[in-house]
Amino acid sequence: MEVDNIKISTQKAHINLSASQLIDMALARKEGELASNQALVVTTGPRTGRSPKDRFIVKDAVTEKTVDWNTINQSLSPEKFDALWQRATEHLEQKNEFFISDFTVGAEDEFARPVKVISELAWHMLFVHNLFIRTQKNDPAKQWTILSVPSLKTDPARDGVNSDAAVILNFSKRCILICGTYYAGEMKKAMFSVLNFLLPDHDVLPMHCSANVGKDGETALFFGLSGTGKTTLSADPNRFLIGDDEHGWSKTSVFNFEGGCYAKCIDLSQKNEPVIWDAIRYGTVLENVVLDPKTKDPIYSDTRLTQNTRAAYPLEHIPLREEKNHGKVPNAVVFLTCDLYGVLPPVACLTKEQAAYYFLSGYTALVGSTEVGQGTGIKPTFSTCFGAPFFPRPPQEYARLLMKRLEEDKAQVYLVNTGWTGGAHGEGGQRFSIPTTRAIVNAIVNGDIRHATLETLPGFNFSIPTAVAGVDSKLLNPHLTWKDQAAHAKNAKTLMQQFIENFKKFNVSDEIRKAGPVLL
């Protein structure tokens, strides 16, 4: 096989193995073990999440003026990439065996990209077999290649990187190189970043969101960072799942980039998340989940390895799913935020300008260490477009596309707080329960909330409903849940100031800037 004039011998390669073959190979190679539910359980060593400080984009004629270069989108020279790619291929060919498989990302043919994955681990190939779309398209002009060699450590002085690991995207050569990390999510998110760069040129808004479809055919989107409920809320036993994480919004449809789901497992329960619970079975990859040594039952509450425990399973494990992997343009868009200050309402109806403001702000909490170096605590963050690490272009480009889609399709945007109420995190507040949030989401997707009586929340100037079926009305207005109104006012002011300060970096219209919080 030849990739950009670099040859890789296929004599020792296992090519396009099935899921069961990959599981057998992983077990034989002692890469993991089977849990009592027959999922393949693996560990990823010290890196149990993404390594954002180790992600680079090759800076060349294609990317120099199109990428928003910053501490997230770090640059690497073509020469450094070529040298490291050569070392990686030589390192791989020293192995007794490795794996090659062909997949696709993007469920709409017009925007799909073929992906050839080359990996030294059977379980890594099972991971992408679950997460990517399991069809093969012969389109050399759009072909991408992922080369994953986790046992190859990088040298910062020699390779121009920051540590002994690196994830490098090369848009000119359509290659991704991953070295020094066993965390499989890097492969998934690297291809997400690729589509986030490519699709705006095709008038498609790429989104870090989940999506599902009601029995009436209406599509709903759920934006949010990991831990805010994106996967949980989209896995609705009464709706058809399109996907749990990555989608595109074109003029005519919402389509999944993937063929599987990557769900967080921390404190997973059959009662609260039955769809995800039942999806974890033979064929699933469980990352860093601790097993009972006797029964081999997964202990989802055990975080000794990481809070970022994960399950990677194919969409076929979801009984109610959209078979075509796409749906109509949405009529409801949900921004999920996890407010640590306890001052945001459980639901607010946003204007188009407010939607752009809160999309760019991406306010939420970091819940669980999805990235290396986050630690175990919970803290507030602003992640542009609800996924700053994955969007290479300037954020205003994505915001303009969002506004365009909202204008065209008349979708209503809602801000849904899955965080705290009645007090701040750690200061007497309580987190909204999953049943409460589900009741709110049900009112959104069935259209009831469009007919609700609304009032304005001062300061944030949100329109909030005064009643939602199945929800205690006192929960709908944050003021009513706090005993200490002075503390509430102080926390609200703190959060508003953070919004205003964070938003200073964006070059947007006055209408969007004025749609944010206003200090009273």
Positions marked catalytic? 50, 189, 208, 226, 230-231, 245, 310
Residue carrying structure tokens 């017009």: 110
Q: Rounded to an integer, what distance in angstroms lies between the CA atom of residue 36 and that of residue 25?
A: 19
CA atoms within 13 A on the CB side of 499: 28
- Contact predicate 241/419, CB 8 Å: no
CB-CB contact of 47 with 154 (8 Å): no
What does each C-alpha distance from 460 to 138, 155, 337, 469 come to in angstroms? 51, 48, 14, 24
**Residue ranges with strand state E in 315-440:** 326-327, 330-337, 348-350, 363-366, 379-382, 412-417, 420-421, 430-431
Q: Which of 100, 81, 91 minimizes the C-alpha distance to 151?
A: 91
Q: Are strands 113-119 and 144-149 parallel, antiparallel or unpaired?
A: parallel
Q: Classify strands 330-337 and 219-223 as parallel, antiparallel or unpaired.
A: parallel
CB-based contacts of 268: which residues, under 8 Å, 6+ apart? 276, 277, 300, 311
